[in-house]
Amino acid sequence: MAGLLTLFAVLPSQVRSQPTHPFVMATDQPESTYEGKWQRRTYEEAFKRLGIPIEVITMPAQRGTVMVDSGAADGQFLRVFAYADAHPEQVRVEEPIYDVVFGLWVSKPTLHLTRLADLGATSWTGIYRRGVELCQHSLSPLVPAERLSSISTEDVGLRMLLAGRVDFYCELDASVQNILYQPEFKNVTSIHPLLTFGNPVPLYPYLNKKHAELGTRLAVVLRQMKAEGLLERIRRQVRDELRSQ
């Protein structure tokens, strides 16, 4: 027994130590989407610079919350600033990965609008995606209920625009871009933003609170990558790849 203990004592530390476990990050975006691709590449590069292997798991956003709250997953890609208030088991990485903006999207080149408030003077019909509360709250006072309705998914919104069934679609810019890079819409050039409204909404990485120290280091790495212009280069590279498919 003593000889066995002596043997373990002299083994190199690399042999005795367990392999480093991957850091598990959750997202609701599959790898096949525009957002899913560039987000993964961004985090893969960030964690490479930190010297930490990463594993990305795809799941609905609500399940991702439960997984990170419980520590079953280590973090998640994107949440708004105030998300931390309702989830004390998680810490916000104090560097947003990007901003999203709300806007009205159209496919008719003849439509023009200077301000959102001017929408009330039109006879346009519009839609917004259920759950996008800023769109609902901003449009309801301006557009009568008979000319404003909600839809379930982004692809339905784009199809309705292209078919001329509605004049505008209120949505997050990132969500529309995500759909426009899907095969069904890749050759569509008529859909464009009419105007944006509200303040840009920054989205942050979140980690389980046991990784708070790592969150501080991750924020530094993301700032460095932004300063290098790398985040924008990654997005541009992914756009070019999807257009060429």
Which tens digits make up the pLDDT trace of 134-181? 999 999 999 999 999 999 999 999 999 999 999 999 999 999 999 999
Q: Is the pTM of this model over 0.85?
A: no
Residue ranges, CATH 3.40.190.10, the chain: 18-99+202-244, 100-200
pLDDT tens-digit series, residues 95-109:
999 999 999 999 999
- Residues 14 and 150: their CA atoms lie apart, in Å, by 58
Helix (H) or strand (E) holding 54: strand 54-58
For the domain made up of 18-99+202-244, give the CATH fold: D-Maltodextrin-Binding Protein; domain 2 (3.40.190)
Determine the CATH number of domain 100-200.
3.40.190.10
Give phi and psi for 123, each to the nearest 5: -115, 25
Rounded CA-CA distance 175/161 in Å is 15
Residue with tokens 């899913």: 36
